Chain A
Amino acid sequence: MQDIPRMLGRLATGLALGIALTAAAMGVAQAEVVLRRGNGAEPATLDTHKSTGVPESYIQMDLFEGLLASDPEAKPIPGAAESWTISDDGTVYTFKLRSDAKWSDGSPVTAEDFVFSWRRLADPATASQYAFFIWPVKNGEAITKGEMPPDALAVEAVDQKTLKVTLRAPTPYFLSAQLHHALFPVSKANVEKFGADYLKPGNLVSNGAYTLAEHVPQSHVKLVKNPAYYGAKDVKVDTVYFYVTEDIDAELKRFRAGDLDATYEMPPQQIPWAKANMADSFRAPAYLGSYYYAFNLTHEPWKSNAKLRKAVSLAVDREILVEKITQAGELPAYGFVPPGIVNYQSATLDYAGMPQKDRDALAKKLFAEAGYGPGKPLDLEIFYNTNDRHKKIAIAVGGMLKQKLGINTTLTNQEWKVYLDARNQKTYKDVIRVGWIGDYNDPNTFLELLRGDIGPQNPAAYDNPRYNELLSKAGRTADLQERGRIMTEAEALMLEDHPIIPLYYYTRPLMVASYVKGWQDNILNYHPTRFITVQK
């Protein structure tokens, strides 16, 4: 009998020990902070010079750091460079690199790494789709065209930590363009050592807050904290997973089941549900994107009939589109460049202040003046890439045009590459749906699309010499306020010509768990993990 208390005593000791051990183990487990992000499509490549997609850019932003980096609100802050000077004429930039900027293998980040990386970007042998990011630098374009050797690029390592860049003309967005992955550095020693295999986990060295641990195609990319990063002590998340989430419905389910801490996007039809049931996680910040229809200006009736274009544009009720169809807080668009760009005041269509009823009346009047009406109806084809949202919008727009102007609309959809082909070749009949997300925080990333000399990219084949001239003039203007003013003038001029029907400015609906802290909404949707923490 007397053994029982002793046994109980042992049992208690054992239990206490077990609990203590478990607690200790849990303590260790808790010490590792993990962030699991839905990241959309499978990354096409992690090579900063070769990738073009948004999912890749989020991973690269954690792996690498350019001369400038993004703060939590996507504003440029010093990155690999701690300071810089710009010559009076705005063409020579001298960057001073941080003395403590290191690659993940401990070697210093040098000016020579940038020279090597930018030459690699320009080099036709690299076959970079974003090589034009280096074209503002003197000789960059000629190198990509194969007219000059890569070492002719006007980038010079003055000493180990000083980089001197000569531009072909003042380029005010050159600094904010440093946030783009195309201009990120790669380690010269590392690329030369491993060649094409330098991107493999274990080989890759990076200079950002994270290093590459795993890359499983169609599954995930796993990054771990880079201890050599100069800001490592402020980085809270130890491990970040970027999961491939191509099926957006499945992505939302994984979020709801707690398998993801943040999603890449949201199924549009689930937005009302999310607003009602998961309001603390649902976000739809304004996004640097413009959704619009373009007229095919290569042939009649659109080519020389601005009145007709304006009539069609007037008859589209944007308020209904954003309230009833898109439903994610999008702003109705009456201009081309989305609001929120620094040093820029967007222009708007002259009828923006008019109530829809008056717009409809004016539309009817202009439509009749253009020679159309009950006696001569107009047939119009809306062309879009196959997608549920584009279809709903096209149906609604078609209905509005039928009801107000008696226009007979037909809808045509094609899969992505066929759609692109039709857009580039201008083989679509009347009107094409276009969306554009800005590459950097500057009006030029939108306005240049409608330049007459940009080539097939211009969806409307719009060509107004005065518009082209204004944009060129802005490109030569170093004063940022003045430059912005000229670009606003250009935008206003273009809007008066009605080559496009602006419909709405994007938002970026997505889910972020409430325990994810430091995730700040911004128009570029940049969320470097180094500023994020997870507090469960």
Chain B
Amino acid sequence: MLSYAVRRLLGAIPTLLVILTIAFFMIRLAPGGPFDDERTLPAEIEANMKAAYNLDQPLPVQYLRYLGGVLRGDFGPSFKYRDFTVNQLIWGGFPVSLRIGGIAIALAAVVGTTLGALAALRQNSGLDHGVMALAMTGITIPNFVVAPLLTLVLGVHLGLLPVGGYGDGSWRNLLLPVVALALPQIAYIARLTRASMIETLRSNFVRTARAKGLPEGTMLRRHALKGALLPVVSYLGPATAGIITGSVVIEQIFGIPGIGRYFVQGALNRDYTLVMGVVVFYGALIILFNLLVDLLYGALDPRVRYD
């Protein structure tokens, strides 16, 4: 299994290189540049700016320079946030995104699978319909509607929780963003678990287990649930990578200092290095979590073995 993991990680290097290369040249295709603003710069000043950031050199040279930097772990300076390097921005914001996203995805996994499993076990009951109706609602109402509603009711009208800001990161500041992030995930995971659980309960190995006379509870824990969780696990990998790298909507609405909005702000500002930094970072996380998912598969599904 270890050699498999190592092989996979080595295989990730060319993937990351491709991501980096495509991103590098794509962002340059967008009209306008990092120093375009309401006030157009005198040509000499713009030349000084470009020289300061090596943007006056031919594109291939810039690419190689950038690649060299990344190999040394240096994503370069941010063009827009000039007091910080891209590394500082990412490592400053990531712990916050990781914290909020991590709690949200853990909450979503526990609540979502529990609800989904319960609904599957009581298929077509009132409970099942109730859970599924909630799940549909959770999926169809987007974040940018739920979050302002939560803040308006709990923050402005009832005054129970802060409307925004991260403060010192206490649970009061975390609660609303975590809930807003987790709700659609709970809904999706509940539906996924239910569908997969229903299918598993009808499968041959469950019938065999029942025929052997295994108590229902043991059968569920040992056999059914494991099988039913496989699709959930494969969903959780990329979902976790996505959530812990922050959400631009949640961060803007709640004023959370995570890294989610660097994706959007970086692209809008043509902050080339920042965009590249978050893209590579996100790409690396996706690869890592997909690997974790595959390793978990080995633990959950007896048919999967790595050697």
Contacts and interface: CB of A to CB of B under 8 A. Distances in A.
A145 B53 CA distance: 17
A257 B161 CA distance: 9
B255 A50 contact: no
A418 B31 CA distance: 5
Interface string B130-151: 0000000000000000001001
A415 B268 CA distance: 8
Contact of A44 (B42, B44, B82, B92): B82
User: Lowest 3 CB-CB distances: which A-B pairs, in order?
Assistant: A417-B32, A127-B52, A45-B82
Contacts of B164: 250, 253-254, 259
B30 to A, nearest CB: 7
Contacts of A219: 165-166, 255-257
Interface residues of A, number: 54
Interface residues of B, number: 52
Contacts of B148: 249-250, 253
Given A129-B45, A247-B253, A254-B255, A217 B151 contact: no
12 contacts: A43-B81, A45-B81, A52-B39, A144-B44, A219-B165, A247-B253, A250-B252, A250-B255, A416-B268, A455-B42, A455-B43, A457-B40
B146 to A, nearest CB: 13
A213 to B, nearest CB: 14
A418 B32 CA distance: 6
B307 interface: no
Interface of B: 30-33, 35-45, 48-49, 51-53, 80-84, 89, 92-93, 148, 151-152, 155-156, 159, 162-166, 251-258, 261, 265, 268-270
Contacts of A245: 255
A417 B39 contact: no
A424 interface: yes
Contacts of A250: 148, 151, 163-164, 252-255
Interface of A: 42-47, 50-52, 124-125, 127-129, 131-132, 144-146, 199, 215-220, 243-247, 249-250, 253-254, 256-259, 415-418, 420-422, 424, 435-437, 439, 455-457
Contacts of A254: 163-165, 255
Nearest to B154: A257
Contact of A253 (B42, B44, B152, B270): B152
Most buried by B among A215, A253, A424: A253
Contacts of A42: 81, 265
A220 B162 CA distance: 16
Given A129-B45, A247-B255, A254-B255, 4 more contacts: A43-B81, A218-B256, A249-B253, A421-B31
